[in-house]
Chains A and B, each alone.
Chain A
Amino acid sequence: MRMANVLHLGVKELFSLLRDPVMLVLIVYAFSLAIYAAATAMPETLHKAPIAVVDEDRSQLSTRIVDAFYPPQFSPPSLITREEMDARMDAGLDTFALAIPPDFQRDLLAGRQAEIQLNIDATRMSQAFTGNSHIQTIVSNEIGTFLRRYRPDAGQQVDLALRARFNPELNKSWFGAVMKIIDNITLLSIILTGAALIREREHGTVEHLLVMPVTPFEIMTAKVWAMALVVLCATTASLYLVVEGALGVPVEGSVPLFLAGTALHLFATTSLGIFLGTVARSMPQFGLLTMLVLLPLQILSGGTTPRESMPAPVRGVMLAAPNTHFVMLAQAILYRGAGFEVVWPQFAALFLIGCVLFAISLSRFRKTIGTMA
């Protein structure tokens, strides 16, 4: 291998990219506005959850309960009749509908059991769960304080002091911003390398390279470093300017350590991109193939939903994917302030996966490059 060839071919890749202004704009967008929009759109915890109340009691207590729901967690409750409830829920206007029966306050004060009905639109899973527990707590608290005034012996208080570590307000934009960056890192690195390879094939330039004194290893390494560099620069800028700057997310750990992890991740994903580029015979095929690989990588990596909630076989398989480890190390470093002594297993895993992917891609590249001409 000659480093000079790797260098020159890599520089050539960078020039190619420079000639495509639309692509450059897209890259900037992907690491700035897209991150910002995704981070700020995500509601913090439960946010403006649409709720409606059917108040058939119209008592002091029921009014207190209605008033207990206010923004930002809930949108101001709509007061509706029981008849309206189903239609509104069908139309998706409310996620929650709370029905307070007649004589609710009287029954309670008399020490009788009373029942409140809470209807939840279960098609909105994420809001359904968190909202349910919030509403339960709010209603219980209101009733508790109300009753204590009338019945001082009403049970004993054991307070539960809930505190969230690393992100005290459970601010989703912190999380969303970095996970979005991770998604875009993977997306961009796979498309840049794989599509660049297909483009060379479609324009006949691979054939040209093949009669020159360069080896497939050099061609591939050049693509890997050049594209990884582009993505790494975009990531660094995005992390400092958008995440820390515009979004004001406090980063706990060391950014250089995270970037080192990013570099390892890029090693794996750019190799993956080349592999896909050798499998696909044309750009349209490559586009579909990318989608097929990318979506599972993003969705099952633990960045969208927690790994704990995936079936065990999926969890196992996903250990072979670079994203899983990258998400783990990103969360550990950026949110929990973990150092290398904590995240070294993820680094090791990424390096290993990267090497395997690189080796597979290289052997596939060597085999297919002859047929590309």
Chain B
Amino acid sequence: MNRSAPPKEPQGSDAVSVDGVTLRYGKTIALDSVTLAVPAGRMVGTIGPDGVGKSTLFSLIAGSRRLQTGRVEVLGGSMADAAHRRSVCPRIAYMPQGLGRNLYPTLSVFENVDFFARLFGHGRTERERRIGELLSATGLEPFAGRPAGKLSGGMKQKLGLCCALIHDPDLLILDEPTTGVDPLSRRQFWELIERIRERRRGMSVLVATAYMEEAARFDWLVALNAGRVLATGTPAELLAGTGSRSLEEAFIALLPPSQRAGYRPVRIPKREGESAAETAIEASGLTMRFGDFTAVDRVSFKIGKGEIFGFLGSNGCGKTTTMKMLTGLLPATEGEASLFGRPVDPGDLDVRRRVGYMTQSFSLYTELSVRQNLVLHARLFRLPEKAIPPRVAEMARRFGLDEVMDALPESLPLGVRQRLSLAVAMIHGPELLILDEPTSGVDPVARDAFWQIMVDLARLDQVTIFISTHFMNEAERCDRISLMHAGRVLVSDAPARLVEKKGAANLEDAFIAYLEEASVEPAAADGAFAPGAASDPGIGDEGEHGASPPGNFSLRRLLSYAHRESLELIRDPVRLCLALLGCVILMFVMGYGITMDVEDLSFAVLDRDQSVLSRDYALNLSGSRYFSERPPLHDYRELDRRMRASEISLAIEIPPGFAKDLQHGRPVSVGAWIDGAMPSRAETVSGYVQGMHAHWLASLARQRLTSPPAASLVRIETRYRYNPDVKSLPAMVPAVIPLLLMMIPAIVTALSVVREKELGSIVNLYVTPVTRLEFLLGKQMPYLLLSMASFLLLTLQAVFIFRVPMKGSFAAFSLGGLLYVGTATGLGLVISTFMKSQIAALFGTALLTILPAVEFCGMLEPVRSLEGVGALIGRVYPTTYFLLISRGTFGKGLGFEELKLFFIPLALAVPLLILLGTALLKKQES
């Protein structure tokens, strides 16, 4: 949006209006004729159980998903209209669900935010100012240099928010932004949003949340269930309407009776026989260091059998690391841990069978259905085959997965996926459950049901439960909890005792009090709010939207993608080296490995004449450097056998009476048998044999002073042009360069888009103003530069190491090379936009480059000699033309003038491929 931007929505009108929207995923109905008007300038929350269509609704509003039926109007225009989407998207910020799925894990915190800032077209100083403010406001400043992939879940959420807020949106869409975020950070998070709203009065915020106490603070709520709107209104209205005391109750009251029926509050019987219980987990002085960084610092605890032990702490404080050490996934740097009295040993399969572990991020097989995942894990945990179906059915019922048994996990909402992970962790009835934030993103009803299951397990079956959580009401249900901060356990006790000790009103306040007390730099925690507020960030400066108008081509956005892609490349020096040195190594292999001339061919003679003359014939062959003689043959059977075993590749048969017949001038015939299994070799052999035969005849004639055969009057003077010594290298090297410059650039580019699809960051293409063309060209640029570096290296290698002189115009060769790597990277991009998985992209690129480039483009046989499909491919494949340029400049000493025709197809192919890629790429999820 430029400075002559459309006027702001007047206060009070609707920021978003949704009318009769229905959306299906296959047979499943995600949204069922939803009609909704979201008032502008308000903080609007949606609440509802998992899988009711909250995320789908949000993605439609953000424009990242294609509308099926109905109308969605956002900021005064229809989101079905691409032009409106383009013009409005710089005013919308969308933070998708999932822990930092739209972030780039190898880029640092700063670089991630910087990328989005560039995308929205802020200048350098503006960028730095905004990023500094956002990072300090979210407390991420000390971690600015850390790769996003190494952040804890909560920190990723904060980073995601920073990325969303970088461009002063009018509509902020946050899909479960605080899922997995610790209470302190959560509090900071909402304060930050509040401050931003104060400054940008017109801004509307749309939030989905699983925390009812958060929802209670919003201006306006939408309760969704099963793809339908149950109720809308202010929290007070909802409470009043249902006659409930808390929002949680109100929500449950809103549910249809069938769903409500299964609900009952969690009841926790008192734990008995505590003191007598044996120890399930014991840790003493457990320490984990990554380099200089101490993630876990001398942690000790002891958990009894049947105890529910809660683990609380700020994001990134070492909870997950501690859990990983207990499971044996990470070997502890110092200290000891034991499960059931046995020291943790990664190789101990028996212990693994008694433990169920659930990781923080979803780690099940997305390509297996829910049922397949459950069955597979049941089998791996060695449940008896007969017991599996009832067990799977039981888990499905317990965790409410009945409806989705045949769905793929990827199509499920976060909360349902979490339940699946839990079901998998519990499928084998373990004695110990280690659960890393198992209820993050799970709705309140399901969470209570889940807790009831755990409580029953602990109390009735004496299952020990070691759980980390950010929900205070869950922490209150634990027998004991530990508060962890910066790698250390601050305090361990029963929840009620902790509240008591701190004299706090509730556990959350106690928790925050402990954290603030323990913070090494209390200012930093405070600073998470203060500086941003004091310096009054530009967030809110009206009309300060991106400098590049959306819709039109913007070099700036292109460069921002190019910059990001280069950063990723630089972060991966191994890949960089492989791409550059790979070409050079392969060139050595092929340059020295492929030669066309054949020497030392093994042959044997079946001499039925045994005369001086017949032996002379054989000597004529064995005397040359091409042939080496093996023991003579005795019959046809032997000939066959030895040729079959590949011992000889040529057999000469000299007929009986050879010398006598020759003497008397009778026609004689010498037989030559060639192993035809490898046709090209057979042809070379046949050429050699014919030559040697003619040579022998000529010398025979000279010896006998008879008149020479007629043909020897003629001298056929063969001139090998361009390569007079017929050396392999000068012929091969100019052919290998095009081959390598097709395969390597294509393969490095081929993963660039599909990788984003697989790892989730493609959503940035959907919801930011970047166009498909900018996106593709931006991605292509760094690879183009990389490939040109390879091009130079290969040329230097050819000239200085292989000593193949560049006889023609280097400028022509370079221009050809530039166009050619343009097509190679373009081809990689096309494959990348088309494929679904990285594996398919790799395989596809290998298939679509190696075969045509090696076989159909004139490296071995000229294109004009090919037949059928191959000939057709050869005519359109770019390698053909660059091969002609390469051979023309290297071998034939030609320049632009002579080669100009071959540049045209290359110059045409580059834009064509990019356009094809653009056409194949979708700007919305379908």
Contacts and interface: CB of A to CB of B under 8 A. Distances in A.
B713 A370 contact: no
A291 B856 contact: no
Contacts of A155: 697, 701, 706-712
Nearest to B846: A187
A165 to B, nearest CB: 5
A104 to B, nearest CB: 8
Interface in B754-792: 755, 758-759
A68 to B, nearest CB: 13
Given A126-B680, A139-B714, A314 B847 contact: no
A159 B716 CA distance: 20
Interface in A295-327: 295-296, 298-300, 304-306, 308-311, 314
B847 A37 contact: no
B532 to A, nearest CB: 34
B670 interface: yes
| Residue of B582, B712, B838 with highest tally of chain A CB at under 10 A | B838
Given A4-B379, A314-B593, A23 B713 contact: no
B843 A122 contact: no
Interface stretch (A262-270, A279-287, A350-358): A279-287
B644 A133 contact: no
Contact of A158 (B328, B668, B717, B898): B668
A256 interface: no
A313 B683 CA distance: 25
B869 A129 contact: no
Contacts of A196: 839
Contacts of A134: 687
B592 A311 contact: yes
A175 B645 contact: no
B699 interface: no
A241 interface: no
Nearest to A85: B721
B709 A154 contact: yes
A162 B674 contact: yes
B589 interface: yes
A167 B711 contact: no
B452 interface: no
Given A117-B719, A308-B600, A132 B687 contact: yes
Contacts of A294: 846, 850
Contact of B644 (A21, A33, A336): A336
B612 interface: no
Given A155-B706, A163-B674, A291-B744, A286 B645 contact: no
A13 to B, nearest CB: 10
A365 interface: no
Given A23-B840, A90-B888, A161-B670, A116 B755 contact: no
A15 B719 contact: no
A282 B575 CA distance: 9
A58 B168 CA distance: 85
Contacts of B147: none
A373 B667 CA distance: 79
Interface string B721-745: 1111010101110110000000110
Nearest to A137: B690
B747 A288 contact: yes
Contacts of A214: 349, 380
A16 interface: yes
A373 to B, nearest CB: 5
B683 A166 contact: no
| Residue of A157, A212, A342 with highest tally of chain B CB at under 10 A | A212
Contacts of A254: none
Contact of B839 (A46, A163, A199): A199
B831 to A, nearest CB: 10
B592 A314 contact: yes
Contact of A166 (B377, B677, B686, B720): B677
Contact of A139 (B680, B716, B726, B901): B716
Interface string A321-350: 000000010011001111000100000000
A310 B718 contact: no
A127 interface: yes
A151 B366 CA distance: 85
Nearest to A73: B865
Interface string B671-689: 1111111111111101111
B846 A122 contact: no
Nearest to A200: B365
Contacts of A95: 862
A50 B864 contact: yes
13 contacts: A38-B855, A41-B856, A89-B892, A113-B714, A122-B891, A140-B714, A155-B709, A158-B668, A161-B670, A207-B359, A304-B854, A309-B598, A336-B677
Contacts of B686: 133, 162, 164
A118 B718 contact: yes
Given A155-B706, A187-B847, A22 B380 contact: no
Interface footprint category on A: 35 or more
A205 B363 contact: yes
Contact of A285 (B572, B649, B861): B572
Interface stretch (B33-41, B56-64, B273-281, B870-878): B870-878
B401 to A, nearest CB: 18
Contacts of B645: 332, 338, 342
B635 interface: no
Contact of B586 (A90, A122, A171, A296): A296
A87 B743 CA distance: 31
B246 interface: no
Given A162-B672, A309-B596, A314-B592, 11 more contacts: A4-B382, A27-B843, A42-B861, A124-B858, A125-B731, A128-B726, A130-B683, A165-B640, A207-B363, A288-B747, A291-B743
Interface string A204-225: 1101101111110000000000
Contact of B835 (A22, A126, A176): A22
Contact of A370 (B329, B382, B759): B329
Contact of A12 (B368, B575, B676, B759): B368
B702 to A, nearest CB: 11
Interface in B332-370: 346, 349-350, 352-353, 355, 357, 359, 361-368
Nearest to A208: B363
Interface string B118-139: 0000000000000000000000
B670 A160 contact: yes
B368 A16 contact: yes
Contacts of A202: 758-759
A75 B693 CA distance: 27
B675 A9 contact: no
Nearest to B641: A342
Contacts of B643: 165-166, 336
A45 interface: yes
A77 B440 CA distance: 78
| Residue of B408, B720, B864, B865 with highest tally of chain A CB at under 10 A | B865
Given A90-B892, A129-B597, A291-B744, A370 B380 contact: no
Nearest to B844: A26
B894 interface: yes
Contact of B720 (A128, A164, A172, A211): A128
Contacts of A29: 847
A360 interface: no
Given A162-B689, A213-B352, A291-B846, A308 B866 contact: no
B669 interface: yes
Contacts of B10: none
A101 to B, nearest CB: 10
A245 interface: no
Nearest to A300: B593
A83 B376 CA distance: 76
A367 interface: no
Given A26-B840, A120-B721, A283-B838, A299 B870 contact: no
Nearest to A151: B710
Contacts of B873: 37, 41
A118 B716 contact: yes
